Amino acid sequence: MDSYLGIDISTTSTKTIAVDSLGKILAVSSSEYAYETPFPLWSEQDPDLWWEATKKSVRGCIAQAGLEPSQVKGIGLTGQMHGLVILDEKGMVLRPSILWNDQRTQQQCDEIRNVIGKEEFIKVTGNDALTGFTAPKIVWVKEKEPHLFEKIRHILLPKDFVRYKLTGEFALDRADGSGTILFDLKERNWSYDLIGRLGFDPVWFPPTFEGTQITGLLTKQAGEEVGLTQGIPVFGGGGDQAASAVGTGAVKEGILSISLGTSGVIFASTDSPRIEPEGRLHAFCHAVPGKWHLMGVMLSAAGSLRWFKDTFRKEASFDDLVAEAGDVEPGSDGLLFLPYLTGERTPYPDPLARGGFIGITVRHTIRHFTRAVLEGVAFGLRDGFELMNEAGLQRVEQVRITGGGSKSLLWRQIIADVLNTEIVTINSEEGAAFGAALLAATGAGVFDSVEQACANTIMVKDRVVPGSASTLYEKIYSEYRLLYPSLKNTFHRIAEDIL
């Protein structure tokens, strides 16, 4: 049977999965690597690590699935977003990639707002200039490493460097491209006006493609290195969040997805570009042709629970820790938790925001604190949910949840109660890599559309509906929303004193 590969180039590993023409996963293989933090706030990675890991994971996947190279009919790519890869005229890497979690560019973000104007920038790109995005990283290289800036001839994102190694072509999908914040969101392509006003050369930026379009063919040399046949089409794919949404079936309005991992992401597909006027939500192109999405990101979701466990209950398992919290009534007897342990992005783009427990009394036990963490993360997700409503997304039929935190029935119930909507789990657990494989299969003609691919391969496993606690959580959430505005100045003074 024909098969299709999804390759996910993440921050810590590259994963390759193989699926057949029915969407059944045949094999999964991954290869790990590290990233560097040479200075405070910096996060960098050698792009060659991605290529070496791609070769290993593809070969491992093919061997594990027992496939002949000729059976692979398409490759879809996904991976970490926003990273900056700069190449010279010979296609050689000029410096380590500056990654999505790098925080060095606050000054450059301010400069972009000054040059373009914050309101105009958000209107064109759908986003404010934030440190994680690609554009301020290019400005940083221009100002801090002018000797390298002068040599730039090509700018790519991480997965598109792997695309270049596979095909010899410079190309980029529109979902990931919009995450550079150099796109005209409505036009689904580069804003050459913004590029020029920021002092960048338009020829550096590659042609863009929809997620199901062919961007190039596997070269003979690359085929020999990864163990595949020359000429296999490589499709656009998408940035990890958009591809993950395909992998969970969040490809039409009314179906939202929540990724409850270290960070928390709430994702909504839209049929037209919708922008939150203050840029508190990310607005990008979807990997689904002709569609867009809104995305809210909280930086410490399941990461908050891990921090709590490692700090206060290291000896306990996550299951035991959460089970104890189940004995506590909703609302944790008035104990609230702010989940801003690593700053925040949505709804407050504030790297100096801090976490906290509020309302502690002698009645509170470790179980109350655990439940407060679960509830605080749910309230943080609700913030993104509310911003989506304000941006015009009124219809929510279902929320699909994935990630390590989604394995907890209690946490799923709390989120259903806080959002006052049905929460479901699905049969797909490979997220972005699976979505990339579906995009490739759709592009190859196996499915008529991405929507059909999702409908044929993704099924609901479990449902949780809002319970009687929803009314109480509505009241508590109104108090939760007051905490950050009340404490913002304190957070900043604390950070200034420390820094």
Structure token pair of residue 474 = 């509505």
pTM for the complete prediction? 0.91
Please state, in angstroms and rounded to a whole number, the distance separating the CA atoms of residues 245 and 403: 12
Span 141-151, pLDDT tens digits: 999 999 999 99
Mean pLDDT of 198-202: 98
Does residue 256 fall inside a structural domain? no
Three-state SS string over 297-308 comes to EECCCHHHHHHH
Does residue 434 fall inside a structural domain? no
Length of the chain: 499
Look at 7-16, 345-354, 413-422, 460-469 and tell me which has the smallest mean pLDDT.
345-354
- Per-residue pLDDT at 499: 59
Does residue 21 fall inside a structural domain? yes
Does residue 301 fall inside a structural domain? no
pLDDT of 320 > 90? The answer is yes
Does residue 157 fall inside a structural domain? yes
Mean pLDDT of 431-459: 96
For the chain, the domain total comes to 1
Catalytic residues: 240
Any idea what the CATH number is for the domain that residue 178 is in?
3.30.420.40
Does residue 202 fall inside a structural domain? yes
Contact 197, 124 (CB under 8 A): no
Mean pLDDT of 182-189: 98
Please state, in angstroms and rounded to a whole number, the distance separating the CA atoms of residues 170 and 363: 61
Contact 29, 1 (CB under 8 A): no
Instruction: Please provide the average confidence, as pLDDT, over all residues in the chain.
Output: 95
Show the domain range for 232.
Answer: 3-242
How far is residue 304 from each of residues 276, 278, 380, 389, 401, measured CA to CA in Å? 27, 27, 11, 26, 17
Does residue 369 fall inside a structural domain? no
- Per-residue pLDDT at 475: 97
Does residue 252 fall inside a structural domain? no
